[in-house]
Amino acid sequence: MKIKPPSMSIIRGLLFTYDIENTYDLVREKTISLRDINNDEELIKLFDELTKPEFVAYTRSEQKWFIDSTSHFLATSDNFDAVFKNMKTYFSAPVTNQTNFMQVLLNCLRNYYNTPNSKI
């Protein structure tokens, strides 16, 4: 199995669900805007509702790439401006701690990866 290098663009792609450029969906927009994304518990609920279904649809190798990429950039103390700088979202407030946001995401991705219905 070929190991893919860490990629900030795939992380950005995974978070496209939250971008205003994504498909017009009033229910999704409302769900996003009603969550306090600077509160870990609220953020986890949001990821569980909107990110998990997309993530578990990827192959195991793709899931691992998301996890490895996020983990890599956290380990290098990246500030994730490459993800957030040009991202316009339905969040009701700006992300106050981008590193924490990504750490919460990573923890969720690891949990989803260990979910039995994740693709092989």
Range of 71's domain?
Answer: 8-113
pTM of the predicted model as reported, rounded to 2 decimal places = 0.90
Residue 102, pLDDT > 90, answer: yes
Across 23-32, 41-50, 90-99, which has the greatest mean pLDDT?
41-50
- Indicate if the pLDDT at residue 5 is higher than 70: yes
Contact (CB, 8 A) for 111 and 36: no
In a domain, 118, yes or no: no
User: Tokens in use for 101?
Assistant: 């946001």
Q: Is the pLDDT of residue 76 over 90?
A: yes
In a domain, 1, yes or no: no
User: Is 2 contained in some domain?
Assistant: no
Q: What is the pLDDT of residue 1?
A: 55
Sign of CA dihedral 36, 80, 102, 64: positive
